[in-house]
């Protein structure tokens, strides 16, 4: 009789657990009026404007979609950049599409310490003075001192679901995690839009602190009463 060693068993269990946590499997289990939502942990990435894309990759260059993201119309591009700071550099930083009006470099506070900067905690899309980081591409470099941020934790929510939960665009709520390092995260801003995929977004620092990852379920614990 063939036997299976312990390492093989552990690998099989790990694969089964990973498959059971996939967001695509969890979406079907959550109703539109549910206060539970799915987590998306965002790694460091860059959003580019047209001008900076040209400077980094050349005239007429277009991003090559690699993988669709959870939000309709957004994608992870095949292209990557080097991000340099006063103390160090990070390689293989993914570009997310589509292009934006202004370039934004989203890093964690831990990334900032490695690079030698302290990024302001801001909502994605907010433009203002920030520490300077250098983007290095195959055809050129760009110095950015207005779009370097650690993203404010937030919830993307479809307008219809927000209406059912009586949650307004821009409202702050709290989110409760579960598990061995369960905690409550306050000051989570809700951003609503039509046909948006509902998801709780945090960065890797926050995900590690609560021991949660993409696909895990969290719960809104401070919001208006459901209608």
Q: What is the pLDDT averaged over residues 105-109?
A: 98
Same domain for 111 and 28, yes or no, is: no
What digits encode the pLDDT tens for the residues 148-175?
999 999 999 999 999 988 999 999 999 9
Per mean pLDDT, which range of 17-21, 79-83, 98-102, 148-152 is the poorest? 17-21
What letter would DSSP give residue 107? -
> Which SS3 state, helix, strand or coil, does residue 50 take?
helix
104, 84: one domain: yes
**Total number of domains in the chain:** 2
Question: DSSP 3-state helix, strand, coil percentages of the chain (rounded to 5)?
Answer: 20, 40, 40
Q: Which of 147, 208, 218, 226 is nearest to 188 (CA)?
A: 218
| Token output for 82 | 């080097």
Least confident of 30-44, 95-109, 183-197: 30-44
Give me the mean pLDDT over the 174-187 stretch. 94
What is the spatial distance between Cα 210 and Cα 206, in angstroms, rounded to a whole number?
6
Residue pair 190/133 in contact by the 8 Å Cβ criterion: no
Q: Which of 131, 150, 169 is the last residue of a domain?
A: 150
Q: Is residue 2 part of a domain?
A: no
Question: 36 and 66: one domain?
Answer: no
Sequence-separated (6 or more) residues with CB below 8 Å from residue 48:
56, 63, 95, 99, 100, 103
**What is the rounded distance in angstroms from the CA atom of residue 60 to the CA atom of residue 50?**
9
Task: Determine the structural domain holding residue 206 and report its residue range.
Answer: 23-41+153-222
Q: What is the mean pLDDT of residues 6-30?
A: 42
Q: For residues 202 and 42, what is the distance between their CA atoms, to the nearest angstrom?
A: 6
Domain contains 3? no
- Same domain for 37 and 106? no
Q: How many CB atoms lie within 10 A of CB 129?
A: 9
- Bigger pLDDT: 114 or 9? 114
pLDDT tier at 15, thresholds 50, 70, 90: very low
Distance CA 99, CA 227 (A): 38
Q: How far apart are CA 148 and CA 106, in angstroms?
A: 6
Query: What is the C-alpha radius of gyration for the chain, rounded to an integer number of angstroms?
Result: 19
pLDDT band at 31 (very low <50, low <70, confident <90, very high): low
Express each pLDDT in 35-75 by its tens digit.
899 999 999 999 999 999 999 999 999 999 999 998 889 99
Angle at the Cα of 161 from the Cα atoms of 155 and 165, rounded to 5 degrees? 85
Q: Please check whether residue 10 lies inside any domain of the structure.
A: no
pLDDT at 227 over 50: no
Whether a cis peptide bond, with omega within 30° of 0, leads into 127 is no
Q: What is the average pLDDT score of the chain? A: 87
Tell me, yes or no, whether 130 and 165 share the same domain: no
Q: Are residues 146 and 48 in the same domain?
A: yes
- Average pLDDT of the residues in 106-133: 97
Q: What is the DSSP string of 167-189?
A: --TT-EEEEE--STT--EEEEEE
């Amino acid at each position: 009789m063939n036997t299976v060693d312990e390492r093989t068993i552990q690998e099989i269990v790990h694969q089964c657990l990973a498959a059971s946590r996939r967001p695509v499997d969890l979406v079907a289990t959550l109703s539109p009026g549910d206060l539970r939502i799915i987590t998306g942990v965002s790694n460091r990435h860059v959003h580019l404007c047209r001008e900076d894309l040209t400077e980094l990759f050349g005239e007429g260059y277009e991003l090559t979609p690699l993988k669709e993201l959870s939000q309709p119309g957004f994608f992870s591009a095949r292209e990557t950049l080097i991000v340099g700071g006063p103390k160090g550099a990070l390689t293989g930083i993914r570009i997310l599409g589509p292009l934006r009006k202004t370039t934004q470099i989203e890093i964690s506070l831990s990334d900032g310490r490695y690079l030698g900067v302290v990024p302001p905690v801001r909502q994605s899309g907010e433009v203002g003075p920030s520490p300077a980081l250098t983007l290095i591409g195959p055809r050129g470099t760009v110095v950015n001192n207005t779009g370097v941020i650690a993203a404010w934790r937030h919830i993307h929510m479809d307008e219809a679901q927000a209406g059912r939960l009586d949650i307004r665009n821009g409202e702050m709520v709290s989110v409760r995690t579960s598990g061995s390092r369960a905690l409550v995260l306050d000051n989570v801003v809700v951003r609503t839009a039509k046909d948006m995929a509902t998801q709780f977004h945090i960065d890797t620092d926050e995900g590690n602190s609560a021991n949660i990852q993409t696909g895990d379920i969290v719960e809104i614990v401070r919001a208006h009463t459901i209608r």
